[in-house]
Amino acid sequence: MKKKDKYNIAIVGATGAVGQEMVKILEERKFPVAELKAFASARSKGKKVSFRGKDVPITELSFEESAFQGIDIVLSSAGGSISKQFAPHAVKAGAVVVDNTSAFRMDANVPLVIPEINGEDIQKHNGIIANPNCSAIIMLMAIAPLHRKNRIKRVICATYQSASGAGAKAMQELEQQTRDVLEGKPVQKKVFPHQIAFNLFSHNSAVTDNGYNEEEVKMIQESHKILHDNSIRMVASCVRVPVFRAHSEAIVLEFERKMTPEEAREILAKAPGIEVVDDRERNYFPMPLEASGKDKVLVGRIRRDLSSDNGLALFVAGDQLRKGAALNAIQIAEALIQ
């Protein structure tokens, strides 16, 4: 990307859970923004987002090249079908699209990037760079540093995914249902297929022919692409839990050679974007409440897998709206302009 002092940035989906976080993080990290354009649907006409003390009006997204004239970088999070429609026009207009949806992630011409892990792939872009699935990012932040030292042969992962992973309305649904249950009122389901308050259920994405839901398939396929290693065997069980924000994951790893918990702790303590929270004495380990609003992914419960000679078990919690989405996308944008 041509070096400039400041860049024109567009956020597509600026009113959403991820989009709002993007606005916040651009401001927090002092991204050199010349002008910010905020796109959403016709439903948001008249709304505004606040950026650096000023109101930025929401513009209805149009699927035309002219909408993106003069934009350097588009940060996109309005859903896969929207990205598929507008991204080619934005690229034609000369912008680079950093896309948070699943629209292009497995496209061979589109790099899928976690800057701490495969940042070098950013330069291979042809106008679109994909931001990985949030559960994949949170898992890989914890396991990629270990994999680099001692190849991981097998991963078993169970997720505990927050309501906000399904967007702003899903968060409101958890809040409303919780109130209704406590007040003895009937619960209404609009976003999730099942009651989320005081409950948990298998991830709400579609279940494919082999019994895995789409979230589980994404975690496996995207991990292979990011690590450039299709031979790692993986199984995931993705579950939605009544937590507002931050995903947690119980991960079991099998390495090529033995790795002690002490070695793993030492590697993770030095890994970028990771905070080790592993206090056995106090029974104090990663929690979504403490991961919420944080940039770092919390990793703990690092212990031997007693059922396997070369195995380790860990527990992670990471804010999927930040590192799992908006922060990762802005880190990609920062790398683009460097």
Residues that bind ligand NAP (CB under 6 A): 13-19, 40-41, 43-44, 61, 77-80, 82, 100-101, 134, 164-165, 167-169, 320-321, 324-325
- Closest approach of Cβ 25 to ligand NAP, in Å? 13
Q: Which is nearer to ligand NAP, 96 or 152 (CB)?
A: 96
* 157 has catalytic annotation: no
From the list 125, 147, 203, 247, the catalytic residue is 247
The closest residue (CB) to ligand NAP is: 16
- Closest approach of Cβ 224 to ligand NAP, in Å? 19
Question: Smallest Cα–Cα separation from 149: which of 47, 262, 69?
Answer: 262
Question: Smallest Cα–Cα separation from 192: which of 167, 160, 218?
Answer: 167
How far, in Å, CA of 299 to CA of 315, rounded?
A: 6
Beta bridge partners of 73: 9, 96
Beta-strand ranges (E) seen in 133-226 are 152-160, 201-202
Amino acid at 287: M
Beta-strand ranges (E) seen in the chain are 7-12, 33-40, 48-51, 54-60, 73-76, 96-99, 128-130, 152-160, 201-202, 233-237, 239-240, 247-255, 274-276, 297-304, 311-318
**H or E segment to which residue 311 belongs:** strand 311-318
Cβ(296)–Cβ(243) below 8 Å: no
Cβ(126)–Cβ(104) below 8 Å: no
Q: Which is nearer to ligand NAP, 60 or 229 (CB)?
A: 60
Q: Which is nearer to ligand NAP, 80 or 119 (CB)?
A: 80
Q: Which is nearer to ligand NAP, 78 or 196 (CB)?
A: 78
From the list 125, 134, 157, 238, the catalytic residue is 134
- Closest approach of Cβ 228 to ligand NAP, in Å? 22
Q: Which is nearer to ligand NAP, 274 or 321 (CB)?
A: 321
Cβ(130)–Cβ(105) below 8 Å: yes
Kindly give the residue spans of alpha helices, DSSP state H, lying in 183-323: 214-227, 261-270, 288-291
How far, in Å, CA of 150 to CA of 237, rounded?
A: 24
* 194 has catalytic annotation: no
Neighbours of 51 (CB within 10 A): 18
Q: SS3 for 331?
A: helix
- Closest approach of Cβ 321 to ligand NAP, in Å? 5
Q: Which is nearer to ligand NAP, 222 or 275 (CB)?
A: 222
Sheet holding 311-318, edge to edge: 233-237, 152-160, 247-255, 311-318, 297-304, 274-276
- Closest approach of Cβ 15 to ligand NAP, in Å? 4
- Closest approach of Cβ 76 to ligand NAP, in Å? 8
* Residues forming the active site: 134, 247
